[in-house]
C-alpha cells in the first residue's frame, strides 16, 4: 500500500520549476496578494489527479498533514483524495469527510482548491439537509470561507434549486474582493441558465448596487442587447 512519503517523493519527481513560477504568478502569491505564501511545485492538475488515484487509501491524518503544508499541490491532492473517499463512502458514513472539510476551510485557501472541492463535497452533502452552515461561512471574515459558501450552491443549482444561491449572493453584494464578485456572478449565471426569470428578478432588484464584476459574470449568457441594457442602467 502506498504511503505519504511515497506520495511526496512522487510529486517531487514531477516538479517543474518553470511551471511553478508561472503558477505562482497566476495564483497571486506575492506579498499582500490573496495567495501570499503559497508554494508551487509546478504540477498541472491532470497529473495531480492521476497521482491522487494511486493514494486514495491515505488516512485522514495523512490528508491533514498535506493540508497543513504550504505546498499548493499537497493541499489539492489532499482534497482530491478526500473527494474520492467521500464519493466511495456509504451515505451514512459521509459526515466524517464533511466535518473534516469544514475543519480545514482556512487551509482550502486558493480559488482552485475551493472550486474543485466544495460543491462536490459540502454542497452534495447538504442537498437533503439544512444549509445554515453556508450562511455562516458567507458571513465569515475569511475570503475562502465566503467563496466556499457561494460555490457550494452549485450542487443545488444542478438540482434546479436556486434559493440559496440567490440568498447567499445577496449576502455577498457588499463584499470588497474581486474573487467573491466573480464567484457570486458565476453562480448567478449558472442559476440563470436554468431559470432566467429567477436571475432577472435578482438583477432587477440589485443591479444598481451589485459590484460591476459580479454583474458582468451574471449576464454573460444573455444576448448582446440584453447585456448592454443591464450595463447601461
146-178 residue pLDDT tens = 999 999 999 999 999 999 999 999 999 999 999
For residues 94 and 184, state if they share a domain: no
Residue at which a domain ends, from 56, 76, 109: 109
Residue where a domain stops, chosen among 91, 109, 127? 109
- Which residues, 6 or more positions from 13, have their beta carbon under 8 angstroms from its beta carbon? none
- The answer to whether 138 touches 104, Cβ cutoff 8 Å, is no
Q: How high is the pLDDT of residue 173? A: 97
The pTM score is: 0.96
Q: What pLDDT, on the 0 to 100 scale, is given for residue 2? A: 80
Average pLDDT over residues 47-57: 96
User: Span 61-69, mean pLDDT?
Assistant: 98
Q: What is the pLDDT of residues 5-39, one digit of tens each?
A: 999 999 999 999 999 999 999 999 999 999 999 99
Q: Which of 65, 81, 109 is the last residue of a domain?
A: 109
Q: Kindly calculate the radius of gyration of the chain based on its CA atoms and give it in whole angstroms.
A: 19
Q: Is a pLDDT exceeding 80 seen at residue 136?
A: yes
Determine the Cα–Cα distance for residues 159 and 134; give it in Å rounded to an integer. Answer: 17
Cα 223 to Cα 162: distance, rounded to the nearest angstrom:
22
| Bridge partners for 39 per DSSP | 71
- Give the integer Cα–Cα distance in Å for 38 and 69: 9
Same domain, 42 and 79: yes
User: Would you place residue 1 in the very low, low, confident or very high pLDDT band (cuts 50, 70, 90)?
Assistant: low
CATH number of the structural domain spanning residue 162: 1.25.10.90
- For residue 212, give the DSSP letter: H
What does the pLDDT read at residue 84?
98
Please check whether residues 83 and 180 belong to one and the same domain.
no
Same domain for 105 and 166, yes or no, is no
Domain enclosing residue 151, as ranges: 117-233
For the chain, how many structural domains are there in total?
2
Amino acid at each position: 500500500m502506498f504511503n505519504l512519503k511515497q506520495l511526496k517523493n512522487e510529486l517531487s519527481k514531477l516538479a517543474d520549476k518553470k511551471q511553478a513560477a508561472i503558477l505562482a504568478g497566476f495564483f497571486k502569491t506575492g506579498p499582500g496578494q490573496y495567495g501570499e505564501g503559497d508554494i508551487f511545485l509546478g504540477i498541472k492538475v491532470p497529473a495531480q489527479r492521476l497521482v491522487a488515484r494511486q493514494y486514495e487509501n491515505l488516512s485522514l491524518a495523512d490528508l491533514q498533514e498535506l493540508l497543513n503544508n504550504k505546498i499548493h499541490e499537497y493541499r489539492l491532492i489532499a482534497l482530491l483524495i478526500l473527494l474520492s473517499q467521500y464519493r466511495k463512502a456509504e451515505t451514512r458514513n459521509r459526515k466524517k469527510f464533511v466535518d473534516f472539510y469544514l475543519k480545514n476551510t482556512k487551509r482550502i485557501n486558493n480559488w482552485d482548491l475551493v472550486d474543485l472541492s466544495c460543491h462536490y463535497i459540502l454542497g452534495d452533502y447538504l442537498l437533503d439537509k439544512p444549509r445554515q452552515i453556508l450562511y455562516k461561512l458567507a458571513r465569515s471574515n475569511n475570503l475562502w470561507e465566503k467563496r466556499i459558501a457561494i460555490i457550494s450552491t452549485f450542487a443545488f443549482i444542478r438540482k434546479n434549486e436556486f434559493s440559496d444561491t440567490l440568498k447567499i449572493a445577496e449576502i455577498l453584494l457588499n463584499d470588497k474582493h474581486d474573487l467573491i464578485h466573480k464567484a457570486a456572478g458565476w453562480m448567478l449565471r449558472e442559476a440563470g441558465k436554468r431559470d432566467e426569470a429567477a436571475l432577472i428578478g435578482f438583477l432587477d432588484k440589485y443591479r444598481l448596487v451589485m459590484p460591476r464584476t459580479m454583474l458582468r459574470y451574471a449576464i454573460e449568457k444573455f444576448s448582446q442587447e440584453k447585456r448592454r441594457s443591464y450595463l447601461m442602467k
